């Protein structure tokens, strides 16, 4: 395996790509009892349209999440129970662009790793079990649709995007999942659960050679073809400027979002992620002039916050919380972005935000899960996340001001509100 040592953060990563295309990353942690394995496929909620065996397939919204639920079924029973019996703590998640299966354990690690690799690579579905799962996931969907925070975000995404599959909820809808069959699940597994579309990351006091040997022994020898995907040709304009829904809430809530320009894969993806996060903190953070002024005027409270996200082919910056005058807050955010873009960013405040952002990235290395997920995302998008110290050095306050000027504009803005009713 090839070893890289990152002097500035004191971490090492051993990497190997197997003949079947599987990428393996091992982060050694000598002396730690806990070991963590993360096995992920570059397949998520946005991957509903793709080409398999020469044909374009349109699959139901929510199928990646549905497949994640069903993957724990085995001919022998349930892989979750097998891992738990061995002292492991297993789980899984589906995001817009990834499905990840993971566990942590202090003993029987290699045996648990064999179970993980086996059940994820060998699907077992029956029409009866698929139909039964529809009721379980349908109940999940109904519960989250009753959540005002979920409705705010989901309606915001539909307002931003008219064509991109970013507008589709990861879990789908009760109606969309009713069209999922065992055959469709097998098609999706065949397309995306191939070694060349997957990454195995292990963090802990392990033998990297043993890890690679287990993967070679258990996983298919063939990697699988590259699968073309269609996320939808998204126009520059937002789909809908405003959306409002009445729910049983005690006070009005809102999210305002901006349709940002997407970055390319490679180190530019990491740079944009860091830059967008710092821009968010400078514009909206709880020590920013805007936050302090709006808080002082009673237009926002401690619930206010924001974030920057990158998804396949799209990016967005959003902010929100409780407010009795969301329109004014949204307008003030745009006004402050223009002020920063035209007048520049205070040097002391920029340095303060930069130090905090760098410190947050460093603290992320304390979490085995965070290390594994960030390395996986880096592999999927063609960058090395452990190079963040060097990438931070390429970002100036002028870059952040330019980002705000380009992206935080009225024509790129939407407003999603939940009001009492």
Enzyme catalytic residues:
68
Question: How far is residue 41 CA from its own chain's centroid?
Answer: 12
- Of the candidates 322, 290, 316, 283, the residue with the CA atom closest to the CA atom of residue 304: 322
**How many Cα atoms within 13 Å fall on the side-chain side of residue 120?**
33
Helix axes 289-296, 326-343, angle to 10 degrees: 150
Residue 248 Cα distances to 57, 179, 324, angstroms? 39, 31, 15
Distance, CA of 240 to CA of 243 (rounded, Å): 7
Helix axes 397-407, 267-284, angle to 10 degrees: 80
β-strands 77-78, 73-74 pairing: antiparallel
**How many Cα atoms within 13 Å fall on the side-chain side of residue 394?**
13
Distance, CA of 412 to CA of 337 (rounded, Å): 13
Asked if 283 contacts 290 with a C-beta cutoff of 8 angstroms, the reply is yes
At residue 135, the 3 state secondary structure works out as helix
Is the C-alpha dihedral spanning 381, 392, 388, 367 positive or negative?
negative
């Amino acid at each position: 395996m090839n070893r890289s040592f990152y002097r500035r953060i004191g971490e090492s990563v051993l990497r190997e790509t197997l003949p079947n295309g599987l990428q393996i990353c091992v982060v050694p942690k000598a002396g730690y009892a806990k070991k963590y394995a993360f096995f992920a496929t570059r397949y998520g909620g946005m991957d509903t349209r793709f080409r398999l065996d020469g044909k374009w397939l349109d699959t139901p919204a929510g199928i990646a999440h549905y497949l994640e639920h069903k993957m724990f079924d085995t001919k022998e029973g349930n892989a979750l129970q097998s891992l738990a019996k061995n002292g492991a703590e297993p789980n899984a998640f589906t995001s817009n662009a990834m499905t990840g299966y993971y566990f942590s354990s202090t003993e029987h690690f290699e045996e648990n790793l064999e179970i993980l690799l086996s059940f994820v690579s060998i699907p077992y579905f029956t029409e009866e079990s698929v139909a039964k799962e529809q009721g379980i996931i349908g109940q999940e969907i109904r519960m989250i649709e009753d959540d005002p925070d979920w409705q705010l975000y989901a309606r915001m995404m539909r307002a931003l995007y008219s064509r991109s599959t970013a507008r589709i909820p990861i879990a789908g809808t009760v109606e969309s999942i009713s069209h999922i069959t065992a055959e469709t699940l097998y098609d999706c597994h065949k397309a995306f659960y191939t070694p060349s579309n997957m990454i195995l990351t292990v963090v802990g006091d392990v033998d990297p050679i043993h890890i690679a040997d287990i993967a070679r022994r258990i996983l298919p020898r063939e990697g699988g073809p590259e699968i073309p995907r269609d996320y939808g040709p998204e126009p520059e304009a937002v789909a809908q400027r405003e959306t409002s829904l009445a729910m049983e809430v005690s006070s009005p809530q809102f999210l305002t979002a901006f349709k940002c320009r997407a970055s390319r894969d490679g180190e530019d993806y990491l740079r944009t992620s860091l830059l967008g996060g710092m821009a968010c903190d400078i514009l909206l953070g709880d020590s920013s002039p805007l936050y302090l002024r709006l808080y002082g005027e009673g237009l926002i409270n401690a619930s206010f916050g924001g974030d920057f996200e990158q998804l396949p082919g799209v990016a967005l910056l959003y902010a929100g919380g409780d407010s009795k005058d969301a329109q004014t807050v949204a307008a003030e955010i745009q006004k402050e972005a223009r002020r920063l873009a035209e007048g520049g960013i205070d040097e002391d405040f920029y340095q303060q935000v930069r130090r905090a952002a760098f410190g947050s990235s460093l603290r992320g290395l304390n979490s085995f899960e965070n290390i594994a997920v960030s390395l996986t995302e880096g592999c999927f998008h063609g960058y090395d996340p452990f190079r963040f110290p060097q990438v931070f050095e390429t970002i100036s306050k002028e870059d952040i001001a330019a980002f705000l000027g380009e992206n935080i504009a009225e024509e790129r803005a939407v407003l999603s509100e939940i009001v009492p009713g």
